[in-house]
Structure 1
């Protein structure tokens, strides 16, 4: 089997369900890491808001809001590759931003700031979880078609029944 054969096209019944054990585990990890990354960045940024020469606190607040929204959408929403890509990209942007800001002094910055250590660990794990979900999710067109066809969700309900009296 080649690497391309392992990609999920939405037709594999063993990986197409949202609540397979592997997907539940990855989704739980992704949600927690996005929420923790948001909290860590807010903890760092909040006391530094209003520092005129430093724009990072404002970016951290905006990024934290996005990470929290991704966590909620991952918890409440369906299987959407675009959402998982957004989650991986958000956490990856935090990680890449740290490395770009500190450059060669990134190791020294990690040693001096415990929140940075926590953030980097959480971001690396979160990017991995979101990429794993992306790989296991059906293409977005398949997920949208399932939702339109009224396939039952994990609680046995479908969208058409929710509006019925």
Structure 2
């Protein structure tokens, strides 16, 4: 980790760069999910093609990761899951179409939108991963925050004359 990224990792979750990257990562995950749902929905029930069902499951996972990215702490595993989910969409497209991937991109505007969004999203999630501290640091910060909250509650109860548990 470079000196600047180590400093930023120690400063917490809400540095300007991390907020911007988090916003980009969340938006790209949601847009990728929406694009895949738009493609999959009309194709449900097509017996020889299992992709619509995988797209729906992958879209649900992408949205869940996006929500967790907004609400959870700085967990490297979460960021790796986000990058992996978007990367799997992209890799799956390339694997499915093989050498005809460029022609498939040219023929399908949704595929172009998905590919661009997925590349940007993978980059944002990987940048968040690099900037995040190790999980043990995040867990320790959470314990400290919980202890401070419990201490403040106890002080407030004491001021009101209530018995502490």
TM-score normalized with structure 1 length: 0.86
How many residue pairs get aligned? The number is 155
In the TM superposition, what is the alpha-carbon distance from 1:30 to its structure 2 partner?
0.2
Q: Which runs of 5+ in 2 are unaligned?
A: 158-165
Q: 2:125 corresponds to which residue?
A: 130
Q: What CA deviation, in whole Å up to 9, does each residue of 1:85-112 have, x standing for no partner?
A: 0000000000000000000000000000
The whole-number CA distance in structure 2 between the counterparts of 1:81 and 1:146 is 15
Superposed CA deviations along residues 27-57 of structure 1, whole A, max 9, x for unmatched, are 0000000000000000000010100000000
1:63–1:16 Cα change, 3 Å: same
Query: If each structure's helix is expressed as a fraction of its own residues, which one has the higher value?
Result: 2
Look up the match of 1:90. Answer: 85
Larger radius of gyration: 2
Deviations 1:101-135 (A, max 9, x none): 00000000000000000000000000000000000
Contact 1:33/1:123 (8 A) holds in 2: yes
What secondary structure is seen at the aligned counterpart in 2 of 1:150?
helix
Q: TM-score, normalised by structure 2?
A: 0.86
Q: CA separation in 1, counterparts of 2:153 and 2:114?
A: 42
Does the 8 A contact of 2:26 with 2:69 survive in 1? yes
User: Does the CA-based 8 Å contact 1:147-1:159 persist in structure 2?
Assistant: no
Runs of 4 or more, structure 1, over 2 Å off, are 4-9, 12-16, 158-165
Q: What is the RMSD of the two structures over their aligned residues, measured on CA atoms?
A: 2.4
Alignment partner of 1:107 is 2:141:
no
